[in-house]
Structure 1
Amino acid sequence: MNEKELLIQYKATGNLAILGKLYTPYMSLLYGVCYKYLEDSDDSQDAVMQIFEELIPKLRVHEVENFKSWLYVYARNYCLMILRKSKSRVVVDIENNLLESEQKLNEVSVKEWSEQDFNKLETCMMTLNQEQEICVRLFYLQQKCYKDIADETGFELNKVKSYIQNGKRNLKICMESNGK
């Protein structure tokens, strides 16, 4: 029986043994495709098995002319979907870690500051260039968001972010060099 006949028979009966006959010859090819994208042998093996499971309902409803080509494209798209999901998780994890770190830093900083420290901060604020000082004051002291600062100052949004980052770094350097 050729692939076309096996596809027709599987679509009609839903017999997994028929699907297995179709799928088995391509498992090593699919593993190679998955490994190319996922770069991990265990993840690639899991993907090959998961793709088989997903084919069970899909092949009963889709018209497939060239099984090998269709399967290759399906495997590639499956791997790209996995990569997109994992990247978004990594970004969320990084953002959460940064947020937690910043919150901890803020908690520690607020508890340890004295009047003298605030005077040093004000002195260091005066060492910043004008754009940095304006953006840092609006962001940290008036708690405005990047967009509001950009609207209020006329600076580009990316410039606002840059001024705040650089201003914060320069303040830290100044404060550390002055004993805080």
Structure 2
Amino acid sequence: MRLTFFYRNIQKLSDEELLILFQKKQETDYLGELYKRYMHLVHGVCLKYLKTPDMAEDAVISIYEKLQTEISNHNIKNFKSWLYVVTKNYCLMQLRKTKPGQIILSDSEAELSAFMENETELHPIDSDDNSGETEKALAACIERLKAEQKKCIRLFYFEQKSYREIAEELKTEIKKIKSLIQNGKRNLKICLEAKK
């Protein structure tokens, strides 16, 4: 009876409340409820990129496992949009392993709007907007990054290397590589917004 009451109550919590409770208590019930709300959307994105139902289902499980350790390392303001980026990046990493240099991204506007209410939180470098103007502005902003950030952004986005491969090449920790890419993306966003 008490357990049923707990589950009824947990379902009434907002995404933000569940996220805070999971980060504070590290109890998977909170993360499980949060992930369950968007699992069908995660599956849809995985199916779009990975193409087969089996691979998509495996990815849904792997992403959930990844979230259990990754969430604490991030300051998440909107779980849904953050999860979209995590899911897309996970799929791209899987594709890089199996088909290096052969990734062709299709227009993901419909997928993105189905996944979240707005796309303002998706970083320009993660979007599929390959228009000449955007590409030119992005290239100019990349040139303005600090040397380490520039190197990591180029290796990750243009040479399709994984965090591990970049860490090995630059002889540093994966954690530092993730931080350099994250900071580089933030600086790129600031630069691109200034150019508008």
Question: TM-score if structure 1 supplies the norm length?
Answer: 0.48
Write 1 or 2 for the structure with the bigger share of helix: 1
Q: TM-score, normalised on structure 2?
A: 0.44
**Which of 1 and 2 has greater Rg?**
1
